[in-house]
């Protein structure tokens, strides 16, 4: 039996992305029509029953977030879609934005209806310029057909969606930084509290959800929260888009129900298809650069929020980067850390300096100049970064390093003794010997 | 006003975005694209600041915060090679070496004829076809030596 369950990606590749007509024929906008017959609180009750956890990576319960905003009496309220997908190994929002934009739009309209909001913003990363155009066409067509704009479907409810572009800053994926960027400022995160539900975009109450979360809303509204939940496990509702990259034989985006195992995701012939070239799996990196790494012994862990967390792993953004035996763990982590050096906004010292110091030590190790107390120094840095960074970026930047130290300590130690077990690193001493 | 863009062109871009402070990123991106040298000149930034009633420092803060902007002229085509980990383990290093050889420049530099600038970038969301490079808004994946040579020749002839 196929392990793939398509609730939010079934139109991908099957319809013209910006065609309202084709979207409606495929069952589109049924969720919205049903929502219009429901009270806002009832819709939120369904989102809660669905146990939808934020699909951007933070896994915050969407129902609680919505409830909080509903209770805020101030207006106007804004609906914001976070489409600043920049997490390495993550390309699922791109699939939805380019292939199912109308589903994302439908989810945003339902949110607008729930909060009696008239304006939504979708912040799409600058690198997805072509997708911004597709999305605009989808918006235009939705307006022409009466699903968006003034007096939607003959009701008194009016809602518009505006596209805002990013310009290359990973930290804008952090919701408060994203709002600053929409306002035309540098995308640095804001201090919290106040919560964005209280003081958000243009200082007004704001809902920020990820693309995949919004795409899920019409499904939940249409089939009901309980039914949606039943596709997954009892605490991780529904399905998740996972992104396979690296040395997986079949790289790509797959929609899977929560509860199948990591082994299914990496090895099922319909999903990852095993390791490319028939090689052996060495480790995998889940949920993005700030996510934990795991090893083959953990392959039978069910892919759901609770089981992964118990195993020291995480769903995060849905990224599954697969590494075969040719990859050197220390070199890999150098890449991860270099990424965070580039993407740190520089506002706080633990993140700005911590990543640079980590990188220096890892470089020392891969060049054969590591010192015996370097591993201890790494632990110290991880501790400070995790506990004292200003925002989630710095707090989680060292998670990959910390989990790899758990499973591959001997590989770090080998580097200190001038050996790269993967045979990837070229040490200074070897270069000397060649001279 | 200097070189490629004149005063009127900049004003037109600003007004197309409703002359609003919130439009700053879009305005600067469009100016950069229109410049044909993929950058925002100091004079243009000053004009944007004046028109949006922002301090020049605010405009520069945005220009230097976001990775897509440059305040220095670059080649007509900016080639960005993804170095994020999924591409790194798919041997993006060797892609850079091939490009350096093909273009006769080092990473970070611009060719003498001002056609190409070679840069690293982080994830462009195409990890399923890594190693990848991006030229403007076009992403090219599953790169090989032959593909790269053909690609560069196609852009040279464009």
Q: What is the CATH number of the domain that holds A406?
A: 1.20.1440.230
Residues facing B119 on adjacent strands? B80
Calculate mean pLDDT across residues B32-58: 97
Q: In this predicted structure, what is the pLDDT of residue A429? A: 75
Q: In this predicted structure, what is the pLDDT of residue B3? A: 64
Calculate mean pLDDT across residues A129-151: 98
Same domain for A183 and A224? yes
Does residue A1 lie within any of the structural domains?
A: no
Closest Cβ–Cβ partner in B25, B127, B134 for A165: B25
Question: Among B24, B13, B138, B67, which Cα is nearest to A84's?
Answer: B67
- pLDDT (tens digit, 9 = 90+) per residue, A239-271? 999 999 999 999 999 999 999 999 999 999 999
Does residue A3 lie within any of the structural domains?
A: no
Average pLDDT, chain A: 96
Separation CA B47–CA B14 (nearest Å)? 10
Same domain for A41 and A97? yes
- pLDDT (tens digit, 9 = 90+) per residue, A342-384? 999 888 999 999 999 999 999 999 999 999 999 999 999 999 9
Q: In this predicted structure, what is the pLDDT of residue B91? A: 94
Same domain for A118 and A174? yes
Q: What Cα–Cα distance (Å) separates residue A232 from each residue in A64, A235, A287, A289, B84?
A: 19, 8, 18, 25, 31
B118 pLDDT exceeds 50? Answer: yes
Residues 164-193 of A with CB under 8 A from B: 164-170, 181-188
Structural domain harbouring B87: 77-157
**Pairing of β A281-286 and β A206-210:** unpaired
Same domain for A290 and A366? no
Does residue A7 lie within any of the structural domains?
A: no
* Positions of E strands within A67-151: 78-83, 119-124
Model pTM score: 0.96
Same domain for A299 and A318? yes
Same domain for A76 and A223? yes
Contact check, Cβ <8 Å, A251/B129 = yes
Closest Cβ–Cβ partner in B66, B89, B129 for A168: B66
- pLDDT (tens digit, 9 = 90+) per residue, A19-49? 999 999 999 999 999 999 999 999 999 999 9
Contact check, Cβ <8 Å, A332/B85 = yes
Contact check, Cβ <8 Å, A90/B85 = no
Q: In this predicted structure, what is the pLDDT of residue B2? A: 52
CA distance B113 to chain A (A): 26
**Which helix H or strand E contains A293, and what residues bound it?**
strand A293-294
- pLDDT (tens digit, 9 = 90+) per residue, A284-295? 999 999 999 999
Tokens (6 digits) for A29? 């906008």
Does residue A186 lie within any of the structural domains?
A: yes
Same domain for A297 and A419? no
A169 pLDDT exceeds 80? Answer: yes
A157 pLDDT exceeds 70? Answer: yes
Residues facing A119 on adjacent strands? A78, A160
**Residue B32's closest chain A neighbor by CA?**
A167
Q: What is the CATH number of the domain that holds A303?
A: 3.10.20.600
Same domain for B96 and B133? yes
Separation CA A204–CA A183 (nearest Å)? 12
A143 pLDDT exceeds 60? Answer: yes
CA distance B105 to chain A (A): 23
Q: In this predicted structure, what is the pLDDT of residue B1? A: 46
Per the CB < 8 A criterion, the answer to whether A255 and A6 are in contact is yes
Q: In this predicted structure, what is the pLDDT of residue A431? A: 72
Tokens (6 digits) for A375? 């591993």
Work out how many domains chain B is built from and give that number.
Answer: 2
Q: What strand order describes the sheet that includes A160-165?
A: A160-165, A119-124, A78-83, A206-210
A1 pLDDT exceeds 80? Answer: no
Same domain for B59 and B86? no
CA distance A188 to chain B (A): 9
Calculate mean pLDDT across residues A393-398: 96
Does residue A149 lie within any of the structural domains?
A: yes
Contact check, Cβ <8 Å, A181/B137 = no
Contact check, Cβ <8 Å, A321/B86 = yes
Q: Which residues of A touch B24 (CB under 8 A)?
A: 184-185
Same domain for B108 and B153? yes
Q: What is the CATH number of the domain that holds A181?
A: 3.40.50.11540
Same domain for B57 and B82? no
Residues facing A239 on adjacent strands? A257
- SS3 sequence, chain B? CCCCCCHHHHHHHHHHCCCCHHHHHHHHHHHHHHCCCCCCCHHHHHHHHHHHCCCHHHHHHHHHHCCCCCCCCCCCEEEEEECCHHHHCCCHHHHHHHHHHHHCCCCCCECCCCCEEEEEECCCCCHHHCCCEEECCEEECCCCHHHHHHHHHHHHHC
Q: What percent of chain B has pLDDT over 90?
A: 96
**Residue B123's closest chain A neighbor by CA?**
A88
Q: In this predicted structure, what is the pLDDT of residue A435? A: 67
Separation CA A91–CA B100 (nearest Å)? 28
Q: Which residues of B touch A335 (CB under 8 A)?
A: 83-85, 88
Per the CB < 8 A criterion, the answer to whether A124 and A97 are in contact is yes
Q: Return the DSSP state at A88.
A: T
Residues facing A275 on adjacent strands? A248
Structural domain harbouring A134: 20-230
Does residue B71 lie within any of the structural domains?
A: no
Closest Cβ–Cβ partner in A167, A186, A345 for B68: A167
């Amino acid at each position: 039996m196929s392990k793939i369950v398509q609730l939010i990606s079934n139109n991908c590749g099957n319809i013209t992305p910006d065609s309202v007509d084709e979207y409606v024929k495929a069952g589109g906008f049924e969720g919205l029509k049903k929502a219009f017959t429901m009270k806002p609180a009832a819709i939120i009750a369904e989102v809660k029953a669905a146990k939808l956890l934020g699909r951007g990576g933070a896994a915050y319960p969407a129902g609680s977030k919505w409830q909080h905003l509903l209770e805020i009496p101030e207006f106007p309220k804004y609906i914001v879609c976070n489409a600043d997908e920049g997490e390495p190994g993550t390309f699922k929002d791109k699939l939805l934005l380019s292939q199912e934009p109308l589903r994302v739009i439908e989810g945003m309209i339902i949110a607008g209806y729930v909060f009696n909001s008239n304006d939504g913003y979708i912040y799409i990363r600058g690198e997805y310029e072509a997708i911004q155009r597709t999305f605009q066409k989808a918006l235009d067509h939705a307006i022409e057909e009466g699903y968006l704009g003034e007096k939607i479907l003959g009701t008194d409810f009016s809602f518009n969606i505006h596209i805002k572009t990013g310009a290359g800053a990973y930290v804008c994926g952090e919701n408060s930084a994203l709002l600053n960027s929409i306002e035309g400022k540098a995308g640095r995160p804001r201090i919290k509290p106040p919560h964005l539900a209280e003081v958000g975009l243009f200082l007004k109450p704001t809902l920020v959800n990820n693309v995949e979360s919004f795409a899920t809303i019409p499904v939940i509204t249409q089939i009901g929260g309980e039914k949606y939940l039943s596709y997954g496990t009892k605490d991780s509702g529904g399905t998740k888009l996972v992104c396979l990259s690296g040395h997986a034989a079949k790289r790509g985006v797959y929609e899977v129900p929560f509860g199948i195992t990591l082994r299914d995701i990496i090895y099922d012939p319909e999903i990852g298809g095993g390791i490319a070239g028939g090689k052996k799996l060495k480790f995998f990196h889940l949920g993005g650069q700030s996510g934990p790494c795991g090893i083959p012994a953990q392959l039978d862990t069910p892919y759901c929020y609770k089981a992964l967390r118990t195993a020291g792993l995480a769903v995060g953004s849905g990224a599954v980067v697969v590494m075969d035996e040719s990859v050197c763990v220390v070199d890999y982590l150098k890449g991860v850390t270099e990424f965070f050096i580039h993407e740190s906004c520089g506002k706080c010292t633990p993140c700005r300096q911590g990543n640079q110091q980590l990188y220096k030590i890892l470089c020392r190790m891969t060049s054969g100049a590591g010192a015996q107390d370097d591993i201890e120094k790494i632990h110290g840095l991880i501790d400070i970064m995790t506990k004292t960074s200003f925002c989630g970026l710095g707090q989680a930047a060292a998670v990959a390093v910390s989990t790899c130290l758990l499973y591959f300590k001997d590989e770090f130690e080998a580097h200190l003794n001038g050996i790269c077990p993967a045979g990837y690193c070229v040490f200074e001493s070897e270069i000397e010997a060649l001279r | 006003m200097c070189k490629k863009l004149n005063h009127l062109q900049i004003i037109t871009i600003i007004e197309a975005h409703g002359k609003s402070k919130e439009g700053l990123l879009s305005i600067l991106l469009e100016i950069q694209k229109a410049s044909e040298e993929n950058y925002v000149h100091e004079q243009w930034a000053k004009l944007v600041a004046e028109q949006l009633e922002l301090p020049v420092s605010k405009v520069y803060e945005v220009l230097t915060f976001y990775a897509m902007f440059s305040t220095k002229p670059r080649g007509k085509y900016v080639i960005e090679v993804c170095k994020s980990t999924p591409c790194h383990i798919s041997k993006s290093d060797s892609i850079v070496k091939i490009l350096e050889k093909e273009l006769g420049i080092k990473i970070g530099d611009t060719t003498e004829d001002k056609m190409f600038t070679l840069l690293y970038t982080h994830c462009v969301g195409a990890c399923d076809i890594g190693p990848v490079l991006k030229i403007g808004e076009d992403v090219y994946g599953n790169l090989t030596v032959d593909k790269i040579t053909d690609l560069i020749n196609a852009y040279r002839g464009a």
